[in-house]
């Protein structure tokens, strides 16, 4: 009985002080993955996530000039994108998805829908419309999700990109998230809390395939 009383006495002030869980903010820029000559799938484990149909490339390369792959760069040279213009997924244990920069690769007025799920249940859904000329900062504020689903559709390709390629790909940069982590109070603090609580509460084919992924002719 006394043990239960002391446990409750310690937990209450710890919770009141907000010691149990802290948010650790992180930004994924895609510039710290291994350099590549053309494009490559984002490796699982990058940023602690599993990546499905997300690729990355060097948007500063001249072959992407004037496309959203180039204009969508926020930090450094690399951006990520959804291969073939199809749905792309990011998953992990529970995290908070804060924000990201989105840019249409080929179509102005591209609609990008992002869903946030937890254990298969959709908790959030947000659709934004983006262009090829500039990155758009989107604040998502999806809390307590373990999966993000990115889908894109529509838009109209500007004349100056008609001879370069096409598709519903989008560029994504500066993916910002918080992953919760449990912390334990310092022993001295724990002792103090206990004392207070006790007192107070008791090749060619490869190139062709790469072009398909990019939407490039």
Q: Write out pLDDT tens, residues 65-85.
A: 999 999 999 999 999 999 999
Q: How far apart are CA 49 and CA 116, in angstroms?
A: 14
**Structure tokens that stand for 191 in this block:** 């002792």
Helix (H) or strand (E) holding 211: helix 204-214
15 to each of 5, 11, 19, 184, 205, how far by Cα in Å?
Answer: 16, 6, 6, 12, 58
Q: How far apart are CA 29 and CA 112, in angstroms?
A: 19
Task: Output Rg (C-alpha) for the chain, integer angstroms.
Answer: 23
**According to the model, what pLDDT value does residue 203 have?**
66
Chain centroid, CA 108 distance in Å: 22
Angle at 105 between CA 51 and CA 157, to 5 degrees: 145
**For residue 79, is it left (φ>0), alpha (ψ between -120 and 50) or beta?**
beta
Q: What is the dihedral of CA 112, 117, 120, 125, to 10 degrees?
A: -40
pLDDT at 78: 98
| pTM summary value | 0.78
DSSP symbol at 209: H
d(CA 136, CA 166): 20
In this prediction, residue 207 has a pLDDT band, given cuts at 50, 70 and 90, of confident
Q: Sorting pLDDT into bands at 50, 70 and 90, what band is 62? A: very high
Residue 128, CA distances (Å) to 26, 109, 171 in order: 23, 9, 13
> How far, in Å, are 23, 34, 53 from residue 40 at the CA level?
31, 10, 10
- Which CATH code of 1.10.3210.10, 1.20.1250.20, 2.60.120.260, 2.70.240.10 fits the domain covering 22-214? 2.60.120.260
Segment 161-202, tens digit of pLDDT: 998 889 999 999 999 999 865 444 445 544 554 454 444 444
pLDDT value for 217: 72
Once rounded to an integer, what is the mean pLDDT over residues 44-70?
A: 97
């Amino acid at each position: 009985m006394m043990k239960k009383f002391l446990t409750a006495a310690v937990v209450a002030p710890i919770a009141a002080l907000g010691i149990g869980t802290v948010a650790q903010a992180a930004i994924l820029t895609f510039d710290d993955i291994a350099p590549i000559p053309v494009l490559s799938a984002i490796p699982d484990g990058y940023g602690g996530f599993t990546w499905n149909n997300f690729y990355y490339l060097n948007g500063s390369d001249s072959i992407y000039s004037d496309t959203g792959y180039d204009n969508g760069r926020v930090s450094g040279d690399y951006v990520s994108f959804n291969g073939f213009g199809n749905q792309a997924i990011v998953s992990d244990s529970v995290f908070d998805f804060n924000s990201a920069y989105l840019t249409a690769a080929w179509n102005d007025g591209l609609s990008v829908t992002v869903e946030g799920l937890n254990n298969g249940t959709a908790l959030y859904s947000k659709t934004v419309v983006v262009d090829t000329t500039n990155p758009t900062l989107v604040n998502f504020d999806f809390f307590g999700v373990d999966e993000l689903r990115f889908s894109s559709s529509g838009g109209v390709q500007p004349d100056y990109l008609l001879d370069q390629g096409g598709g519903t790909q989008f560029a994504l940069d500066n993916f910002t998230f918080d992953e919760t982590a449990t912390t334990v109070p310092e022993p001295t603090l724990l002792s103090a809390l206990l004392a207070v609580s006790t007192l107070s509460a008791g090749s060619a084919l490869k190139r062709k395939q790469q072009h398909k992924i990019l939407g490039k002719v």
